[in-house]
């Protein structure tokens, strides 16, 4: 089926679409900040180790599961386990996870669009005032931006796999790479940028604690779009003749490469403008950094470059982050759409309409959890603090469930599918088995599940029971 619109048209089409999913706010901001705070070069090495030793085998497992069954997570879990109830439930978790992540990620995407529009409207100076962000996220404007983001997602997903997701990625991803490299080169020419680089690359092994290890693993899962059912779904759109192992390697390299380059942009920018920065004092959340700290960095460029040029640089940054975010959002909403379409035998558009309506309601709730509505703002209480709905979704689905879903995938492959079936699917059209296939075969049934189970238990205790 050379021209099936429900499949990616080529390996490169797949890699761009999967990179569209993987490259997101996590790469552009989450990764550089985590690296700066948690031991610079030591964090970097730890992160790369997790990507190769744990995530790559799981990328292969998810893609093979998807391609072998031709289904999204729920269908794939059901088919592989021959309808076993427990496993169908696990498949359902792989559906709830992307939905919940979509709910909080769409709010971040909305804020990015808002800041892009405001910078273009000449309001950079106001964005840089400390109170602006708090006012912005509680203003009714949010809903207008939400409507715009949802409209863009519908526009892409309505086109289906090849003419929607792949086409948008082919256009947007090269644009993203150019903006990222342009900004990194610009930042590296600023005086004092080298102090940022030094910080980025110097390994401080004493900073590596348990929570740093856990953070590096969650970050790697989130960044590679693992444990969200996305790669199972995208695997089901891969052609049988495309080389799955090479695609997985290209995906991991692109995503990690973007994260590393984003570090070359973010940290030197911070040091160039604030030479006395102590990175361990950087805001804990990427959110605080993007929306409160960065506008200040751009404003600090005004004496040198003028207001218009500084605003243009700021706009490029927010456009970059917005493009990264919207391509990720598209991929995560595709998972429940594909599943609903298959389960209910509805048309794609009907499934899309239903999922979009549900995500919009969820997004409105989480957008209202910043003080506007009390029960949403004080949604739960743990770790000695009130947590908003937004915080709960991040803690549960980003920090805790992603590695757990990874564990379920390992167990499904080893106990139900059997590793030789996975090997056969991976190797389809790939000649003989290379180091990665051999390593995956061993690791997925041994230490990967052990590590993931340990991380899950310790995270639950640390996060929710202390």
- Contact residues toward ligand PHE (CB under 6 A) are 21-22, 24-27, 101, 105, 222-223, 225, 230, 328, 331-332
Closest CA to 169 of 13, 59, 336: 13
| Least gap, CB of 50 to ligand PHE (angstroms) | 14
Which is nearer to ligand PHE, 124 or 290 (by Cβ)?
Answer: 290
Name the 3-class secondary structure at 194: helix
Q: Where are the beta strands (DSSP E) in 152-207?
A: none
| Least gap, CB of 331 to ligand PHE (angstroms) | 5
| Least gap, CB of 225 to ligand PHE (angstroms) | 4
Which is nearer to ligand PHE, 169 or 331 (by Cβ)?
Answer: 331
| Least gap, CB of 30 to ligand PHE (angstroms) | 7
Closest CA to 145 of 338, 376, 333, 325: 325
Closest CA to 212 of 57, 35, 61: 35
Q: How far is CA 268 from CA 42, 212, 293, 446, in A?
A: 18, 22, 14, 40
Q: Please, what's the b/e burial string for 128-153 (b: 16 or more CB within 10 A of its CB; e: otherwise)?
A: beeebbeebbeeeebeebbeebbebb
Which is nearer to ligand PHE, 107 or 128 (by Cβ)?
Answer: 107
- Do the Cβ atoms of 234 and 331 come closer than 8 Å? yes
Which is nearer to ligand PHE, 9 or 233 (by Cβ)?
Answer: 233
| Least gap, CB of 398 to ligand PHE (angstroms) | 9
Which is nearer to ligand PHE, 21 or 311 (by Cβ)?
Answer: 21
- Classify burial at 461, counting beta carbons within 10 Å of its beta carbon; exposed 0-12, middle 13-18, buried 19 or more: exposed
SS3 percent helix, strand, coil of the chain, rounded to 5, is 80, 0, 20
User: Residue 299 and residue 274: Cα distance in Å, rounded?
Assistant: 12
Closest CA to 442 of 53, 46, 67: 53
User: Residue 384 and residue 381: Cα distance in Å, rounded?
Assistant: 7
Which is nearer to ligand PHE, 124 or 183 (by Cβ)?
Answer: 183
Q: List all residues 6 or more positions away from 433 whose beta carbon is below 8 Å from its beta carbon.
A: 423, 427
Which is nearer to ligand PHE, 55 or 273 (by Cβ)?
Answer: 55
| Least gap, CB of 258 to ligand PHE (angstroms) | 9
Which is nearer to ligand PHE, 21 or 459 (by Cβ)?
Answer: 21
| Least gap, CB of 223 to ligand PHE (angstroms) | 4
Closest chain position to ligand PHE (CB): 24
| Least gap, CB of 406 to ligand PHE (angstroms) | 14
């Amino acid at each position: 089926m050379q021209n099936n619109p429900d499949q990616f048209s080529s390996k490169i089409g797949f890699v761009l679409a999967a990179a569209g999913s993987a490259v997101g706010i996590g790469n552009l901001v989450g990764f550089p900040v985590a690296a700066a705070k948690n031991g610079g070069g030591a964090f970097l090495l730890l992160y790369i180790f997790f990507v190769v030793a744990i995530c790559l085998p799981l990328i292969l497992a998810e893609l093979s599961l998807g391609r072998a069954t031709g289904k999204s997570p729920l269908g794939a879990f059901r088919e592989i386990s021959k309808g076993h109830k427990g496993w169908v439930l696990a498949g359902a978790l792989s559906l709830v996870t992307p939905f919940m992540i979509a709910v909080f990620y769409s709010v971040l995407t909305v804020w990015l669009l808002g800041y892009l529009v405001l910078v273009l409207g000449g309001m950079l100076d106001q964005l840089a005032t400390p109170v602006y962000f708090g006012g912005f996220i509680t203003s009714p404007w949010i809903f207008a931006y939400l409507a715009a983001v949802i409209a863009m997602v519908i526009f892409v997903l309505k086109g289906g796999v090849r003419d929607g997701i792949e086409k948008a990625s082919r256009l947007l991803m090269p644009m993203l790479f150019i903006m990222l490299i342009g900004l990194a080169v610009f930042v590296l020419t600023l005086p004092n940028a080298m102090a940022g680089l030094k910080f980025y690359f110097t390994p401080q092994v004493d900073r590596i604690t348990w929570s740093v290890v856990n953070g590096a693993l969650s970050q790697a899962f989130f960044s590679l779009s693992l444990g969200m059912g996305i790669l199972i779904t995208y695997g089901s759109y891969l052609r049988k003749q495309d080389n799955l192992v090479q695609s997985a390697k290209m995906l991991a390299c692109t995503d990690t490469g973007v994260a590393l380059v984003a570090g070359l942009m973010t940290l030197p920018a911070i040091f160039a403008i604030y030479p006395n920065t102590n990175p361990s004092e950087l805001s804990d959340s990427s959110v605080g950094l993007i929306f409160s700290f960065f506008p200040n960095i751009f404003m600090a460029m005004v004496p040198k470059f003028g207001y218009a040029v500084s605003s243009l640089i700021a706009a490029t940054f927010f456009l970059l982050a917005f493009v990264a975010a919207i391509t990720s959002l598209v991929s995560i909403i595709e998972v429940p759409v594909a599943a609903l379409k298959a389960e209910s035998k509805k048309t794609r558009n009907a499934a899309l309409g239903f999922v979009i309506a549900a995500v919009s309601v969820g997004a409105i709730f989480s957008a209202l959890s910043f003080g506007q509505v009390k029960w949403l703002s004080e949604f739960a209480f743990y770790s000695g603090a009130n947590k908003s709905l937004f915080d709960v979704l991040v803690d549960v689905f980003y920090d805790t469930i992603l590695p757990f879903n990874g564990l379920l995938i390992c167990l499904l492959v080893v106990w139900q599918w059997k590793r030789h079936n996975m090997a056969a699917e991976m190797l389809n059209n790939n000649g003989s088995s290379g180091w990665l296939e051999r390593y995956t075969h061993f690791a997925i049934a041994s230490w990967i599940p052990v590590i993931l189970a340990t991380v899950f238990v310790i995270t639950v205790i640390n996060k929710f029971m202390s």
